[in-house]
Amino acid sequence: MEVFMLLKMLAVVLLLLFCDCVEDEYSWMMMYKQMKKLGVRSRVSGNFLNEIPLGDVRLDPDSIHGQAQQTNLEYLLMLDVDSLVWSFRKTAGLPTPATAYGGWESPNQELRGHFVGWCTSIVLLESFGHYLSATAQMWASTNNDTLKEKMTAVVSALAACQEKMDSGYLSAFPTEFFDRFEAIKQVWAPYYTIHKIMAGLVDQYVLAGNSEALKMVTQMADYFRKRVENVITKYTIERHWRSLNEETGGMNDVMYRLYTITGDTKHLWLAHLFDKPCFLGLLAVKADELSGFHANTHIPIVVGSQMRYEITGDPLYKEIGMSFMDIVNSSHMYASGGTSVSRIESFSKLGDSIYFEEAGKNPGVYIIQYISSSLNWKSGQILLEQKVIPVASWDPRLRVTITIASKKEGSSSTLNFRIPFWTTSNAKATLNGQGIPITSADDRSDYASLHAILYGPYLLVGLTTGDCDLKAESGSLSNWITPIPSDYNSHLISLSQETGNSTFALSHTNTIVTMAKFSNPGTSDSVFSTFRIILADSSTSAGISSYKDAIGKTIKLEPYNLPGMSLVALGKEIRIGISDSLDPKNSLFRLVDGNEGTVRLESESQKGCFVYSSDGSVKLSCDSGGSDSGFMTSTSFKANNGISQYHPISFVAKGLNMNFVLQPLFSLRDEQYAVYFKLHS
């Protein structure tokens, strides 16, 4: 079966009007993903779609999701067991071989921030809980037994620490933190970290079948239950509620999950005792006072309360969950949905949430996300393969091919496809070559105003160091947001020179052309050092398949991130600048052959004058008389293909002061960008 969906360039209204890049703490997708939980064994009967176990989904290794998963697997395999458990052993008074991951020299930049900062060991601990979850999820997604050995060794090392402490307590900081927590004294959220460790152990049990992990988390639960019990009996329940003003993460959630595994009602009531009433109560009465609450603290509590509903069927908790989603969806939502990289776990479960299933005599499978993958759908006795052709900006169709093989004769099941909100009404499906009708329930229309830009499901961001003013033209969106053609990458050039031992590239900063250290792709410097060649004779532009085809021709050089602008030479010995060509002839240069495979840029308006680099500055300089070899060297540049390259999903958007290159957020690495734009009509 094939499904074609037309991507609609969708303008969304969001509450943020400024340009700073923001964390997606309120991302609807993120919360949605957290709201359905892994490993739930017993629930009230209701219309819940069940998650397909991670172990039954495999990502296509050639897809970007498959590649991201592999990178993350290799990263997790690199971590050292002794270093990971170092501070746990220290706290338990056990020998500590190796060194702690404190002064971490991580090759993985995104994580480094977790390991430095004012309280290294505590931040590290939070990451530690993530490690347990991430490895469990990764193992379920790949069945890589090298990883299983490693994570099992970590769990065993922790078990030894727990046994040594002999109370059920397991942490890398002393119990004294909890004394202060219960006394309402200053302390850094100890339950937040404990929740992560407990959740990690639950994942190790549920996803990787490690029963030692279940035993450990149960002992931890008993230890903390006694602590809470003690606060309530010795003091008051109010005292306990007051202590919850300190961040407790998803303690309620992990206790509800544990209850579904153990069926022990003591676990259920401990979960209840972490449902923060002053917060959930507000939701229950639909008071929109969320803005005052710290999101990191409260999203996990709502996730836990949704779990309470799924387990107990208590309609109040359904109300609370719905009310929260409504409030968030209507006003507290940011646009960078699902792309935060601040939690390593998300890369370990990329196979998560692609498929859901519905039990019953005639079981159903729901294809929720279009990601190249295969599914071994056990209850439907079906092997399903999904192949997605990557989307590009110049072809607004998403093509998905689904191949189904039945494992059992004569069984029947239902396939459901999500028609995402970002498709137009022209989605088409064919089954074995025959068209089949499809119904789309979502007819929401474009909004008139726009602050973040989505192309289908992809959040587009603008390459910019600050400016974020868009010039919206009347009429169709396509008047001011246009796709970058697929062949433009072959028109890109970076020009370099060797000086001493270093390589410098022609670059620009604040509309002045400079020489900057030659940099790797995926950085702001690579963006600034890349230019697009535009042939002056526009009728032939399309014909160039590399910068080499432009040698001997008259060209303009457009900075990669400033579409519509170009290099300009204003006069002799004046620095080369960037502008939108007040006098077009100042931006014309002839690209000529220089020494030993280099190229030179000769001004068209001032013949015999060349772009000349000395001591980091770049000016127009004129040949005084032939034989000056210094002049030749300073005007000769090695030509390279553009260091930055356009992603297949790239657009140019017209701006008030500058135009923007828009690319999907996921395609960027360390480049500066803006997610939110101000609209001017």
Ligand X SMILES: *[C@@H]1O[C@H](CO)[C@@H](O)[C@H](O)[C@H]1NC(C)=O
Judged by beta carbon, residue 31 or residue 123, the one nearer ligand X is: 31
Q: What amino acid is encoded at 84 in this protein?
A: L
Q: How far is the CB of 135 from ligand X (least distance, A)?
A: 12
Q: How far is the CB of 365 from ligand X (least distance, A)?
A: 21
Q: Which long-range contacts (CB under 8 A, 24 or more apart) does 362-366 make?
A: 362/412, 362/413, 362/414, 363/413, 363/414, 364/413, 364/414, 364/415, 364/416, 365/52, 365/413, 365/414, 365/415, 365/416, 366/49, 366/416, 366/417, 366/418
CA 185 to chain centre: 36
CB proximity list for 657: less than 8 A, separation 6 or greater: 467, 469
Judged by beta carbon, residue 144 or residue 156, the one nearer ligand X is: 144
- Show the tokens assigned to 425: 């009404």
The crossing angle, in degrees rounded to 10, of helices 64-78 and 145-165 is 40
Judged by beta carbon, residue 258 or residue 328, the one nearer ligand X is: 328
Judged by beta carbon, residue 425 or residue 545, the one nearer ligand X is: 425
Q: How far is the CB of 503 from ligand X (least distance, A)?
A: 12
How far is the C-alpha of 611 from the C-alpha of 594, rounded, in Å?
Answer: 12
Place of tokens 């959630």: 253
Query: How many helical (H) and strand (E) elements, i.e. helices and strands, does the chain have?
Result: 18, 32
Q: How far is the CB of 320 from ligand X (least distance, A)?
A: 15
Q: How far is the CB of 333 from ligand X (least distance, A)?
A: 8
- Neighbour tally for 526: CB within 10 Å: 24
Judged by beta carbon, residue 277 or residue 616, the one nearer ligand X is: 616
Judged by beta carbon, residue 500 or residue 597, the one nearer ligand X is: 500
Q: Of 477, 508, 470, which Cα lies nearest the Cα of 655?
A: 470
Judged by beta carbon, residue 305 or residue 393, the one nearer ligand X is: 305
Q: How far is the CB of 343 from ligand X (least distance, A)?
A: 22
How far is the C-alpha of 649 from the C-alpha of 663, rounded, in Å?
Answer: 6
Judged by beta carbon, residue 18 or residue 447, the one nearer ligand X is: 447
Q: How far is the CB of 75 from ligand X (least distance, A)?
A: 10
How far is the C-alpha of 656 from the C-alpha of 35, rounded, in Å?
Answer: 41
Q: Of 192, 214, 183, 50, which Cα lies nearest the Cα of 128?
A: 192
How far is the C-alpha of 52 from the C-alpha of 368, rounded, in Å?
Answer: 11
How far is the C-alpha of 521 from the C-alpha of 493, rounded, in Å?
Answer: 13
Judged by beta carbon, residue 35 or residue 94, the one nearer ligand X is: 35
Judged by beta carbon, residue 146 or residue 540, the one nearer ligand X is: 146
How far is the C-alpha of 288 from the C-alpha of 324, rounded, in Å?
Answer: 9
Q: Answer yes or no: are the C-beta atoms of 404 and 425 closer than 8 Å.
A: no
How far is the C-alpha of 254 from the C-alpha of 224, rounded, in Å?
Answer: 13
Q: Answer yes or no: are the C-beta atoms of 374 and 58 closer than 8 Å.
A: yes
How far is the C-alpha of 482 from the C-alpha of 32, rounded, in Å?
Answer: 32
Edge-first strand listing for the sheet containing 382-389: 57-59, 373-377, 382-389, 397-406, 2-6, 428-431, 434-436
How far is the C-alpha of 333 from the C-alpha of 16, rounded, in Å?
Answer: 9
Altogether, the residues listed in the chain come to a count of: 681
Q: How far is the CB of 579 from ligand X (least distance, A)?
A: 34
Q: Hey, CA dihedral for 226, 229, 234, 237, is it positive or negative?
A: positive
Q: How far is the CB of 154 from ligand X (least distance, A)?
A: 16
Q: How far is the CB of 142 from ligand X (least distance, A)?
A: 7
Judged by beta carbon, residue 265 or residue 439, the one nearer ligand X is: 439
Judged by beta carbon, residue 45 or residue 502, the one nearer ligand X is: 502
Q: How far is the CB of 62 from ligand X (least distance, A)?
A: 15
Q: How far is the CB of 104 from ligand X (least distance, A)?
A: 22
DSSP character at residue 101: S
Judged by beta carbon, residue 74 or residue 498, the one nearer ligand X is: 74
CB proximity list for 398: less than 8 A, separation 6 or greater: 4, 5, 6, 7, 370, 388, 389, 391, 423, 456
Q: How far is the CB of 77 from ligand X (least distance, A)?
A: 6
Residues binding ligand X (CB under 6 A): 73-74, 77, 144-146, 325, 329, 444, 500-501
Q: How far is the CB of 448 from ligand X (least distance, A)?
A: 14
Judged by beta carbon, residue 500 or residue 543, the one nearer ligand X is: 500
Q: Which long-range contacts (CB under 8 A, 24 or more apart) does 295-298 make?
A: 295/25, 295/26, 296/25, 296/247, 297/247, 297/248, 297/249
Judged by beta carbon, residue 269 or residue 421, the one nearer ligand X is: 421
Q: How far is the CB of 94 from ligand X (least distance, A)?
A: 29
Q: How far is the CB of 47 from ligand X (least distance, A)?
A: 15
Q: Of 337, 402, 353, 530, which Cα lies nearest the Cα of 3?
A: 402
Q: How far is the CB of 239 from ligand X (least distance, A)?
A: 37
Judged by beta carbon, residue 329 or residue 411, the one nearer ligand X is: 329
Q: Answer yes or no: are the C-beta atoms of 481 and 474 closer than 8 Å.
A: no
Judged by beta carbon, residue 207 or residue 388, the one nearer ligand X is: 207
